[in-house]
Amino acid sequence: MYKELAAAKELLQQKVSLLHSLADTDELTGLLNRAALTRHLNQQMGSSRSSENAFALAFLDLDGFKEINDAYGHDVGDKLLRLVAKRMAANLRTHDIVSRFGGDEFVVIMQGNLGDSSAMDSLDRLIHQLSQPFHIGSLSLSISASAGITLYPQTEPIASDQLIRQADQAMYQAKLTGRNRVCMFNLDKELAQKGQHQKATEIQAAIAEHQFELYFQPKVNMRTGQVLGAEALIRWNHPTQGLLGPASFLSDVSESHQGVELGRWVIAAALAQMGSWHDQGRNINVSVNIAGYHLQHSSFVEELALMLAKFPMLRKQQLELEVLETNAINDIDQVSIVLAACKNLGVNISLDDFGTGYSTLGHLKVLTVDVLKIDRSFVKDMLSSQGDLAILKGVISFAQAFECDVIAEGVETLQHGQRLIELGCEMGQGYYIARPMPAVDLSAWTDAWQQSQYENKFKFTARAAGNKG
Ligand code: C2E
Ligand code: CA
Ligand code: CA
Protein backbone atom coordinates (compact mmCIF):
# COMPACT_ATOMS: atom_id res chain seq x y z
CA MET A 1 0.00 0.00 0.00
CA TYR A 2 2.76 2.35 1.04
CA LYS A 3 4.75 1.44 -2.08
CA GLU A 4 1.80 2.18 -4.35
CA LEU A 5 1.29 5.52 -2.70
CA ALA A 6 4.95 6.43 -3.19
CA ALA A 7 4.79 5.42 -6.86
CA ALA A 8 1.66 7.48 -7.39
CA LYS A 9 3.31 10.45 -5.71
CA GLU A 10 6.37 10.14 -7.91
CA LEU A 11 4.19 9.96 -11.00
CA LEU A 12 2.37 13.06 -9.90
CA GLN A 13 5.66 14.88 -9.34
CA GLN A 14 6.86 13.86 -12.79
CA LYS A 15 3.65 15.20 -14.29
CA VAL A 16 3.99 18.45 -12.39
CA SER A 17 7.58 18.96 -13.51
CA LEU A 18 6.60 18.05 -17.06
CA LEU A 19 3.86 20.66 -16.88
CA HIS A 20 6.39 23.10 -15.44
CA SER A 21 8.86 22.45 -18.18
CA LEU A 22 6.13 22.70 -20.83
CA ALA A 23 5.12 26.06 -19.41
CA ASP A 24 8.79 27.08 -19.42
CA THR A 25 9.53 25.94 -22.92
CA ASP A 26 9.20 27.74 -26.18
CA GLU A 27 7.17 25.34 -28.28
CA LEU A 28 8.90 26.03 -31.55
CA THR A 29 12.55 25.88 -30.53
CA GLY A 30 12.55 24.01 -27.24
CA LEU A 31 14.50 26.84 -25.62
CA LEU A 32 13.33 28.54 -22.45
CA ASN A 33 10.54 31.01 -23.11
CA ARG A 34 10.32 34.59 -22.02
CA ALA A 35 8.48 33.91 -18.76
CA ALA A 36 11.03 31.31 -17.70
CA LEU A 37 13.94 33.55 -18.60
CA THR A 38 12.50 36.39 -16.55
CA ARG A 39 12.00 34.08 -13.60
CA HIS A 40 15.57 32.82 -13.85
CA LEU A 41 16.88 36.32 -14.05
CA ASN A 42 14.91 37.48 -11.03
CA GLN A 43 16.09 34.47 -9.04
CA GLN A 44 19.71 35.02 -9.91
CA MET A 45 19.59 38.76 -9.29
CA GLY A 46 17.52 38.36 -6.15
CA SER A 47 19.95 36.10 -4.32
CA SER A 48 22.65 38.74 -3.82
CA ARG A 49 24.45 41.49 -5.63
CA SER A 50 27.85 39.94 -5.12
CA SER A 51 30.26 39.19 -7.94
CA GLU A 52 29.59 35.47 -7.38
CA ASN A 53 26.31 36.09 -9.15
CA ALA A 54 27.95 37.93 -12.00
CA PHE A 55 26.78 37.34 -15.53
CA ALA A 56 26.54 38.99 -18.92
CA LEU A 57 23.13 39.42 -20.46
CA ALA A 58 22.91 39.46 -24.24
CA PHE A 59 19.99 40.40 -26.42
CA LEU A 60 20.12 39.02 -29.98
CA ASP A 61 17.94 39.89 -32.91
CA LEU A 62 18.25 38.23 -36.30
CA ASP A 63 18.97 40.48 -39.27
CA GLY A 64 16.82 39.88 -42.33
CA PHE A 65 14.61 37.18 -40.82
CA LYS A 66 11.42 38.83 -42.02
CA GLU A 67 12.69 38.78 -45.61
CA ILE A 68 13.26 35.03 -45.42
CA ASN A 69 9.82 34.50 -43.93
CA ASP A 70 8.29 36.58 -46.69
CA ALA A 71 10.28 34.94 -49.46
CA TYR A 72 10.05 31.25 -48.44
CA GLY A 73 7.00 31.10 -46.19
CA HIS A 74 6.48 30.48 -42.48
CA ASP A 75 7.41 26.81 -42.64
CA VAL A 76 10.91 27.62 -43.72
CA GLY A 77 10.98 30.52 -41.26
CA ASP A 78 10.07 28.19 -38.39
CA LYS A 79 12.66 25.64 -39.43
CA LEU A 80 15.27 28.34 -39.60
CA LEU A 81 14.42 29.52 -36.07
CA ARG A 82 14.83 25.95 -34.83
CA LEU A 83 18.23 25.66 -36.49
CA VAL A 84 19.30 29.01 -35.10
CA ALA A 85 18.24 27.93 -31.61
CA LYS A 86 20.17 24.68 -31.94
CA ARG A 87 23.28 26.41 -33.16
CA MET A 88 23.10 28.93 -30.34
CA ALA A 89 22.73 26.24 -27.71
CA ALA A 90 25.61 24.29 -29.25
CA ASN A 91 27.91 27.29 -29.17
CA LEU A 92 27.28 28.33 -25.59
CA ARG A 93 28.62 26.76 -22.41
CA THR A 94 26.35 24.26 -20.65
CA HIS A 95 25.57 26.49 -17.69
CA ASP A 96 24.68 29.47 -19.88
CA ILE A 97 20.98 30.05 -20.36
CA VAL A 98 19.50 30.72 -23.73
CA SER A 99 15.91 31.70 -24.34
CA ARG A 100 13.66 32.72 -27.18
CA PHE A 101 12.32 36.05 -26.11
CA GLY A 102 9.82 36.38 -28.92
CA GLY A 103 9.76 36.42 -32.74
CA ASP A 104 13.37 36.34 -33.85
CA GLU A 105 14.71 37.72 -30.58
CA PHE A 106 16.83 35.72 -28.15
CA VAL A 107 18.16 36.48 -24.69
CA VAL A 108 21.25 34.76 -23.35
CA ILE A 109 22.62 34.74 -19.82
CA MET A 110 26.33 34.01 -19.85
CA GLN A 111 27.35 32.99 -16.34
CA GLY A 112 30.42 34.25 -14.60
CA ASN A 113 32.38 37.42 -14.13
CA LEU A 114 33.25 37.90 -17.78
CA GLY A 115 34.24 41.55 -18.04
CA ASP A 116 33.69 43.69 -21.09
CA SER A 117 36.10 42.11 -23.49
CA SER A 118 35.54 38.41 -22.86
CA ALA A 119 31.75 38.88 -22.99
CA MET A 120 32.20 40.68 -26.29
CA ASP A 121 34.51 37.93 -27.57
CA SER A 122 32.05 35.16 -26.74
CA LEU A 123 29.22 37.01 -28.41
CA ASP A 124 31.35 37.84 -31.42
CA ARG A 125 32.04 34.14 -31.87
CA LEU A 126 28.35 33.32 -31.55
CA ILE A 127 27.40 35.99 -34.08
CA HIS A 128 30.04 34.65 -36.43
CA GLN A 129 28.62 31.13 -36.09
CA LEU A 130 25.15 32.40 -36.87
CA SER A 131 26.33 34.09 -40.04
CA GLN A 132 27.33 30.71 -41.53
CA PRO A 133 24.71 29.35 -43.96
CA PHE A 134 21.82 27.19 -42.75
CA HIS A 135 20.63 24.28 -44.89
CA ILE A 136 16.94 23.56 -45.14
CA GLY A 137 16.15 20.95 -47.80
CA SER A 138 17.82 22.19 -50.93
CA LEU A 139 17.95 25.75 -49.62
CA SER A 140 21.07 27.37 -48.27
CA LEU A 141 20.05 30.38 -46.22
CA SER A 142 22.32 33.11 -44.90
CA ILE A 143 21.27 35.45 -42.15
CA SER A 144 23.10 37.35 -39.47
CA ALA A 145 22.37 38.62 -36.00
CA SER A 146 22.88 41.85 -34.09
CA ALA A 147 23.50 41.70 -30.38
CA GLY A 148 23.77 43.96 -27.37
CA ILE A 149 25.31 43.04 -24.04
CA THR A 150 25.18 44.40 -20.56
CA LEU A 151 26.94 43.18 -17.42
CA TYR A 152 25.70 42.37 -13.94
CA PRO A 153 26.24 43.46 -11.18
CA GLN A 154 26.49 47.20 -11.83
CA THR A 155 27.52 50.03 -9.54
CA GLU A 156 23.88 50.92 -8.94
CA PRO A 157 21.11 48.45 -8.09
CA ILE A 158 19.10 47.50 -11.15
CA ALA A 159 15.89 45.57 -11.88
CA SER A 160 15.77 42.65 -14.31
CA ASP A 161 13.54 44.40 -16.83
CA GLN A 162 15.93 47.38 -16.85
CA LEU A 163 18.82 45.04 -17.50
CA ILE A 164 17.02 43.55 -20.50
CA ARG A 165 16.23 47.04 -21.74
CA GLN A 166 19.93 47.97 -21.56
CA ALA A 167 20.92 44.97 -23.66
CA ASP A 168 18.06 45.68 -26.08
CA GLN A 169 19.23 49.26 -26.44
CA ALA A 170 22.79 48.15 -27.17
CA MET A 171 21.40 45.67 -29.73
CA TYR A 172 19.60 48.57 -31.40
CA GLN A 173 22.92 50.39 -31.54
CA ALA A 174 24.43 47.34 -33.24
CA LYS A 175 21.64 47.44 -35.85
CA LEU A 176 22.24 51.15 -36.42
CA THR A 177 25.97 50.75 -36.88
CA GLY A 178 25.57 48.15 -39.61
CA ARG A 179 24.13 44.87 -38.20
CA ASN A 180 25.93 41.54 -37.83
CA ARG A 181 27.81 42.88 -34.81
CA VAL A 182 27.85 43.21 -31.04
CA CYS A 183 27.59 46.40 -29.00
CA MET A 184 28.22 46.82 -25.30
CA PHE A 185 25.74 48.87 -23.31
CA ASN A 186 27.39 52.03 -22.01
CA LEU A 187 25.89 53.48 -18.86
CA ASP A 188 27.91 56.71 -18.97
CA LYS A 189 26.75 57.37 -22.48
CA GLU A 190 23.15 56.77 -21.51
CA LEU A 191 23.42 59.12 -18.56
CA ALA A 192 24.98 61.75 -20.81
CA GLN A 193 22.16 61.36 -23.31
CA LYS A 194 19.58 61.61 -20.55
CA GLY A 195 21.27 64.76 -19.26
CA GLN A 196 21.32 66.23 -22.72
CA HIS A 197 17.69 65.39 -23.22
CA GLN A 198 16.80 67.08 -19.97
CA LYS A 199 18.73 70.22 -20.95
CA ALA A 200 17.03 70.28 -24.33
CA THR A 201 13.66 70.19 -22.57
CA GLU A 202 14.78 73.04 -20.32
CA ILE A 203 15.76 75.06 -23.36
CA GLN A 204 12.38 74.42 -24.94
CA ALA A 205 10.74 75.83 -21.80
CA ALA A 206 13.12 78.79 -21.78
CA ILE A 207 12.02 79.75 -25.29
CA ALA A 208 8.41 79.81 -24.11
CA GLU A 209 9.42 81.87 -21.05
CA HIS A 210 11.23 84.45 -23.21
CA GLN A 211 14.54 83.88 -21.46
CA PHE A 212 16.62 84.17 -24.63
CA GLU A 213 17.93 87.46 -25.89
CA LEU A 214 19.98 88.56 -28.87
CA TYR A 215 23.09 90.63 -28.30
CA PHE A 216 24.53 92.56 -31.21
CA GLN A 217 28.16 93.04 -32.14
CA PRO A 218 28.92 95.78 -34.68
CA LYS A 219 30.80 95.17 -37.92
CA VAL A 220 32.64 98.12 -39.38
CA ASN A 221 34.85 99.14 -42.24
CA MET A 222 38.05 99.80 -40.34
CA ARG A 223 39.48 102.02 -43.09
CA THR A 224 36.51 104.34 -43.52
CA GLY A 225 34.80 103.94 -40.14
CA GLN A 226 31.48 103.07 -41.75
CA VAL A 227 29.19 100.89 -39.61
CA LEU A 228 28.14 97.95 -41.79
CA GLY A 229 25.73 96.20 -39.47
CA ALA A 230 25.82 93.81 -36.55
CA GLU A 231 25.99 90.12 -35.81
CA ALA A 232 23.23 88.73 -33.61
CA LEU A 233 24.62 86.51 -30.86
CA ILE A 234 22.35 84.54 -28.61
CA ARG A 235 22.35 84.85 -24.81
CA TRP A 236 20.31 83.08 -22.15
CA ASN A 237 19.07 85.11 -19.20
CA HIS A 238 18.98 82.06 -16.99
CA PRO A 239 16.73 82.43 -13.92
CA THR A 240 19.34 81.02 -11.54
CA GLN A 241 22.67 81.01 -13.41
CA GLY A 242 22.58 84.53 -14.80
CA LEU A 243 23.61 85.51 -18.31
CA LEU A 244 24.84 82.48 -20.28
CA GLY A 245 26.78 82.49 -23.55
CA PRO A 246 26.05 80.07 -26.39
CA ALA A 247 29.02 77.83 -25.58
CA SER A 248 27.28 76.71 -22.41
CA PHE A 249 24.02 75.54 -23.98
CA LEU A 250 24.01 75.27 -27.79
CA SER A 251 25.68 71.87 -27.84
CA ASP A 252 22.85 70.45 -25.73
CA VAL A 253 20.37 71.05 -28.53
CA SER A 254 22.66 70.31 -31.45
CA GLU A 255 20.92 68.29 -34.18
CA SER A 256 17.69 68.24 -32.20
CA HIS A 257 14.14 69.43 -32.62
CA GLN A 258 14.76 72.01 -29.87
CA GLY A 259 17.86 73.23 -31.70
CA VAL A 260 15.78 73.91 -34.78
CA GLU A 261 13.18 75.67 -32.60
CA LEU A 262 15.90 77.86 -31.11
CA GLY A 263 17.28 78.61 -34.59
CA ARG A 264 13.80 79.71 -35.70
CA TRP A 265 13.50 81.90 -32.65
CA VAL A 266 16.82 83.59 -33.49
CA ILE A 267 15.74 84.47 -37.03
CA ALA A 268 12.34 85.71 -35.88
CA ALA A 269 13.84 87.76 -33.04
CA ALA A 270 16.48 89.30 -35.33
CA LEU A 271 13.82 90.31 -37.87
CA ALA A 272 11.61 91.74 -35.13
CA GLN A 273 14.54 93.81 -33.86
CA MET A 274 15.36 95.05 -37.35
CA GLY A 275 11.69 96.00 -37.79
CA SER A 276 11.71 97.96 -34.58
CA TRP A 277 14.96 99.77 -35.54
CA HIS A 278 13.35 100.52 -38.88
CA ASP A 279 10.43 102.15 -37.06
CA GLN A 280 12.96 104.33 -35.22
CA GLY A 281 14.38 105.42 -38.55
CA ARG A 282 17.46 103.18 -38.49
CA ASN A 283 18.12 100.54 -41.08
CA ILE A 284 20.63 98.17 -39.61
CA ASN A 285 21.94 95.09 -41.39
CA VAL A 286 21.90 92.04 -39.16
CA SER A 287 23.55 88.69 -39.56
CA VAL A 288 22.34 85.57 -37.76
CA ASN A 289 24.25 82.35 -37.14
CA ILE A 290 22.70 79.28 -38.72
CA ALA A 291 23.71 75.81 -37.60
CA GLY A 292 24.26 73.31 -40.40
CA TYR A 293 21.55 70.96 -39.17
CA HIS A 294 19.02 73.81 -39.10
CA LEU A 295 19.92 74.81 -42.64
CA GLN A 296 19.37 71.21 -43.73
CA HIS A 297 15.95 71.02 -42.06
CA SER A 298 13.42 70.25 -44.78
CA SER A 299 11.32 73.39 -44.37
CA PHE A 300 14.13 75.89 -43.71
CA VAL A 301 13.65 77.95 -46.88
CA GLU A 302 9.87 77.89 -46.67
CA GLU A 303 9.92 79.08 -43.06
CA LEU A 304 12.48 81.77 -43.81
CA ALA A 305 10.27 83.08 -46.62
CA LEU A 306 7.27 83.22 -44.28
CA MET A 307 9.24 85.07 -41.62
CA LEU A 308 10.61 87.57 -44.13
CA ALA A 309 7.10 88.20 -45.47
CA LYS A 310 6.08 89.53 -42.05
CA PHE A 311 8.53 92.42 -42.47
CA PRO A 312 7.79 93.93 -45.88
CA MET A 313 9.38 97.24 -44.83
CA LEU A 314 12.81 95.62 -44.59
CA ARG A 315 15.00 95.02 -47.62
CA LYS A 316 15.79 91.32 -47.84
CA GLN A 317 19.54 91.98 -48.22
CA GLN A 318 19.53 93.50 -44.74
CA LEU A 319 19.43 89.97 -43.38
CA GLU A 320 22.52 87.82 -43.66
CA LEU A 321 22.86 84.15 -42.82
CA GLU A 322 26.20 83.18 -41.30
CA VAL A 323 26.60 79.52 -42.10
CA LEU A 324 28.98 77.55 -39.97
CA GLU A 325 31.24 76.08 -42.62
CA THR A 326 32.24 73.00 -40.71
CA ASN A 327 28.63 72.02 -40.23
CA ALA A 328 27.74 72.72 -43.80
CA ILE A 329 30.13 70.24 -45.28
CA ASN A 330 28.45 66.96 -44.45
CA ASP A 331 26.00 67.24 -47.33
CA ILE A 332 27.41 69.87 -49.58
CA ASP A 333 25.04 69.22 -52.48
CA GLN A 334 21.93 69.72 -50.39
CA VAL A 335 23.42 72.74 -48.64
CA SER A 336 24.24 74.44 -51.93
CA ILE A 337 20.64 73.94 -53.11
CA VAL A 338 19.31 75.44 -49.88
CA LEU A 339 21.74 78.37 -50.04
CA ALA A 340 20.81 79.07 -53.66
CA ALA A 341 17.14 79.12 -52.62
CA CYS A 342 17.96 81.54 -49.78
CA LYS A 343 19.81 83.77 -52.22
CA ASN A 344 16.72 83.70 -54.41
CA LEU A 345 14.74 85.05 -51.48
CA GLY A 346 17.16 87.97 -51.48
CA VAL A 347 19.11 87.41 -48.26
CA ASN A 348 22.90 87.51 -48.06
CA ILE A 349 25.02 84.49 -47.25
CA SER A 350 28.32 84.36 -45.44
CA LEU A 351 30.56 81.46 -44.54
CA ASP A 352 31.48 81.65 -40.88
CA ASP A 353 34.75 80.50 -39.31
CA PHE A 354 36.24 80.37 -42.75
CA GLY A 355 39.55 78.56 -43.08
CA THR A 356 38.89 76.03 -40.33
CA GLY A 357 37.16 73.43 -42.52
CA TYR A 358 39.21 70.82 -44.30
CA SER A 359 38.09 71.22 -47.89
CA THR A 360 37.41 74.90 -48.03
CA LEU A 361 38.57 75.32 -51.61
CA GLY A 362 36.18 72.80 -53.08
CA HIS A 363 33.13 74.36 -51.46
CA LEU A 364 33.56 77.82 -52.75
CA LYS A 365 32.96 76.73 -56.30
CA VAL A 366 29.58 75.26 -55.49
CA LEU A 367 28.38 77.61 -52.81
CA THR A 368 26.64 80.87 -53.50
CA VAL A 369 28.39 83.05 -51.01
CA ASP A 370 28.56 86.83 -50.54
CA VAL A 371 30.96 87.04 -47.63
CA LEU A 372 33.80 84.99 -46.17
CA LYS A 373 34.31 85.44 -42.49
CA ILE A 374 37.88 84.71 -41.44
CA ASP A 375 37.92 82.68 -38.27
CA ARG A 376 39.20 84.55 -35.25
CA SER A 377 41.75 81.85 -34.51
CA PHE A 378 43.80 83.04 -37.51
CA VAL A 379 43.37 86.69 -36.66
CA LYS A 380 44.40 86.12 -33.07
CA ASP A 381 47.91 84.96 -33.95
CA MET A 382 48.44 86.74 -37.27
CA LEU A 383 50.97 89.13 -35.75
CA SER A 384 53.15 86.35 -34.38
CA SER A 385 52.50 83.25 -36.46
CA GLN A 386 53.71 83.07 -40.06
CA GLY A 387 51.42 80.10 -40.69
CA ASP A 388 48.29 81.94 -39.60
CA LEU A 389 49.34 85.00 -41.55
CA ALA A 390 49.73 82.85 -44.65
CA ILE A 391 46.26 81.36 -44.24
CA LEU A 392 44.84 84.81 -43.71
CA LYS A 393 46.50 86.10 -46.87
CA GLY A 394 45.23 83.04 -48.71
CA VAL A 395 41.64 83.63 -47.65
CA ILE A 396 41.83 87.29 -48.63
CA SER A 397 43.11 86.57 -52.13
CA PHE A 398 40.57 83.82 -52.39
CA ALA A 399 37.76 86.22 -51.65
CA GLN A 400 39.16 88.61 -54.23
CA ALA A 401 39.36 85.88 -56.87
CA PHE A 402 35.78 84.76 -56.22
CA GLU A 403 34.53 88.32 -55.91
CA CYS A 404 33.07 88.03 -52.48
CA ASP A 405 33.61 90.24 -49.46
CA VAL A 406 35.87 89.26 -46.63
CA ILE A 407 35.53 90.18 -42.97
CA ALA A 408 37.83 89.41 -40.06
CA GLU A 409 36.42 88.50 -36.68
CA GLY A 410 38.32 88.76 -33.42
CA VAL A 411 39.94 92.14 -34.02
CA GLU A 412 41.21 92.67 -30.50
CA THR A 413 43.82 95.40 -30.96
CA LEU A 414 44.62 98.34 -33.20
CA GLN A 415 47.63 96.41 -34.57
CA HIS A 416 45.34 93.64 -35.76
CA GLY A 417 43.09 96.16 -37.47
CA GLN A 418 45.96 98.01 -39.13
CA ARG A 419 47.63 94.88 -40.42
CA LEU A 420 44.32 93.57 -41.77
CA ILE A 421 43.70 96.79 -43.67
CA GLU A 422 47.20 96.56 -45.15
CA LEU A 423 46.49 93.01 -46.25
CA GLY A 424 43.30 94.11 -48.02
CA CYS A 425 40.72 93.09 -45.41
CA GLU A 426 38.98 96.29 -44.40
CA MET A 427 35.95 94.88 -42.69
CA GLY A 428 36.28 93.85 -39.11
CA GLN A 429 34.48 92.83 -35.98
CA GLY A 430 35.96 92.31 -32.55
CA TYR A 431 36.42 93.46 -28.99
CA TYR A 432 38.66 96.36 -30.06
CA ILE A 433 35.75 97.79 -32.03
CA ALA A 434 32.94 96.74 -29.70
CA ARG A 435 31.82 93.85 -27.55
CA PRO A 436 28.44 92.25 -28.19
CA MET A 437 25.76 94.42 -26.54
CA PRO A 438 22.03 94.37 -25.87
CA ALA A 439 19.88 95.72 -28.71
CA VAL A 440 18.95 98.86 -26.79
CA ASP A 441 22.59 99.94 -26.63
CA LEU A 442 23.37 99.66 -30.32
CA SER A 443 21.94 103.01 -31.44
CA ALA A 444 23.89 104.97 -28.84
CA TRP A 445 27.03 103.00 -29.68
CA THR A 446 26.61 103.75 -33.40
CA ASP A 447 26.21 107.48 -32.73
CA ALA A 448 29.24 107.58 -30.46
CA TRP A 449 31.30 105.58 -32.96
CA GLN A 450 30.44 107.93 -35.77
CA GLN A 451 30.99 111.05 -33.70
CA SER A 452 34.32 110.29 -32.08
CA GLN A 453 35.01 106.67 -31.21
CA TYR A 454 36.23 105.66 -34.64
CA GLU A 455 38.58 108.66 -34.81
CA ASN A 456 39.91 107.87 -31.36
CA LYS A 457 40.41 104.20 -31.92
CA PHE A 458 41.68 104.20 -35.47
CA LYS A 459 43.22 107.65 -35.70
CA PHE A 460 46.59 106.53 -37.04
CA THR A 461 44.95 104.37 -39.64
CA ALA A 462 42.45 107.07 -40.55
CA ARG A 463 45.21 109.60 -40.93
CA ALA A 464 47.31 107.24 -43.02
CA ALA A 465 44.34 106.49 -45.23
CA GLY A 466 43.61 110.22 -45.44
CA ASN A 467 47.21 110.90 -46.51
CA LYS A 468 46.98 108.19 -49.13
CA GLY A 469 43.72 109.54 -50.55
P1 C2E B 1 30.88 83.08 -33.93
O2 C2E B 1 29.81 83.04 -34.94
O3 C2E B 1 32.27 82.92 -34.39
O4 C2E B 1 30.67 84.43 -33.14
C5 C2E B 1 31.68 85.24 -32.72
C6 C2E B 1 32.05 84.94 -31.30
O7 C2E B 1 33.28 85.56 -31.01
C8 C2E B 1 31.06 85.49 -30.30
O9 C2E B 1 31.04 84.65 -29.18
C10 C2E B 1 31.71 86.81 -29.94
O11 C2E B 1 31.30 87.30 -28.69
C12 C2E B 1 33.15 86.43 -29.94
N13 C2E B 1 34.03 87.55 -30.21
C14 C2E B 1 33.74 88.65 -30.91
N15 C2E B 1 34.81 89.46 -30.99
C16 C2E B 1 35.81 88.85 -30.33
C17 C2E B 1 37.16 89.19 -30.05
O18 C2E B 1 37.68 90.23 -30.43
N19 C2E B 1 37.89 88.30 -29.35
C20 C2E B 1 37.37 87.13 -28.93
N21 C2E B 1 38.15 86.31 -28.24
N22 C2E B 1 36.09 86.77 -29.16
C23 C2E B 1 35.32 87.63 -29.85
P24 C2E B 1 29.71 84.11 -28.58
O25 C2E B 1 28.65 85.15 -28.60
O26 C2E B 1 30.06 83.46 -27.30
O27 C2E B 1 29.30 83.02 -29.63
C28 C2E B 1 30.02 81.86 -29.79
C29 C2E B 1 29.52 81.06 -30.94
O30 C2E B 1 28.20 80.56 -30.70
C31 C2E B 1 29.39 81.87 -32.22
O32 C2E B 1 30.64 81.96 -32.81
C33 C2E B 1 28.42 81.05 -33.00
O34 C2E B 1 29.07 79.98 -33.64
C35 C2E B 1 27.54 80.49 -31.93
N36 C2E B 1 26.31 81.30 -31.86
C37 C2E B 1 26.10 82.49 -31.27
N38 C2E B 1 24.83 82.88 -31.43
C39 C2E B 1 24.23 81.93 -32.16
C40 C2E B 1 22.91 81.75 -32.67
O41 C2E B 1 22.02 82.58 -32.51
N42 C2E B 1 22.66 80.61 -33.36
C43 C2E B 1 23.62 79.67 -33.57
N44 C2E B 1 23.30 78.58 -34.29
N45 C2E B 1 24.86 79.81 -33.13
C46 C2E B 1 25.17 80.93 -32.42
CA1 CA C 1 29.13 84.05 -36.59
CA1 CA D 1 33.33 82.69 -36.12
- Domains of the chain (ranges; CATH) run 23-185 (3.30.70.270), 195-468 (3.20.20.450)
Write b or e for each residue in 74-113: b if 16 or more Cβ atoms lie within 10 A of its Cβ, otherwise e.
eebbebbbbbbbeebeebbeeebbbbbbeebbbbbbbbbe
**pLDDT value for 308:** 98
- Lowest mean pLDDT across 40-44, 69-73, 400-404: 400-404
H or E segment at 93? none
Strands (E), 188-246: 212-221, 227-238, 242-244
> Which residue has better confidence, 450 or 7?
450
Q: Is the pLDDT of residue 328 over 50?
A: no
CA distances from 417 to 31, 81, 223, 458 (A): 76, 73, 9, 8
| pLDDT score for 1 | 64
Q: Is 325 in the pocket of ligand 1 (CB under 6 A)?
A: no
Task: Answer whether 436 contacts ligand 1 (Cβ < 6 A).
Answer: yes
Query: What residues flank ion ligand 3 with Cβ within 5 A?
Result: 352-353
Q: Is the peptide bond before 157 cis (omega within 30 degrees of 0)?
A: no
pLDDT digits (tens, 9 = 90+) for 58-115: 999 999 999 999 999 999 999 999 999 999 999 999 889 999 999 999 999 999 887 7
| Average pLDDT rounded to a whole number, residues 201-213 | 96
Among 324, 437, 332, 431, which Cα is nearest to 375's? 324
Q: Is the CB of 430 under 6 A from ligand 1?
A: yes
Read off φ and ψ for residue 176, nearest 5 degrees.
-65, -35
Once rounded to an integer, what is the mean pLDDT over residues 306-328?
88
Closest ligand (CA of 374): 3
Angle, CA of 148, 150 and 154, to the nearest 5°: 165
pLDDT at residue 430 above 90?
yes
∠ CA 129-130-135, nearest 5°, is 105
Element (H, E) at 376: helix 376-380
Q: How buried is 467 (Cβ within 10 angstroms: 0-12 exposed, 13-18 middle, 19+ buried)?
A: exposed
Predicted TM-score (pTM) of this structure: 0.68
- Does residue 69 have its Cβ closer than 6 Å to ligand 1? no
pLDDT, position 327: 47
Compute the C-alpha angle 454/352/241, nearest 5°: 80
Mean pLDDT taken over the chain: 89
Confidence tier at 290 by pLDDT (50, 70, 90)? very high
Q: Point out the ligand 1 atom lying closest to the alpha carbon of residue 353.
A: 3
Q: Ligand 1 pocket test: which of 233, 244, 294, 356 has the largest number of ligand atoms within 8 Å of its C-beta?
A: 233
Range ranked top by mean pLDDT from 2-6, 182-186, 266-270, 358-362: 266-270
Q: Tell me the three-class secondary structure of 258-278, residue by residue.
A: HHHHHHHHHHHHHHHHHHHHH
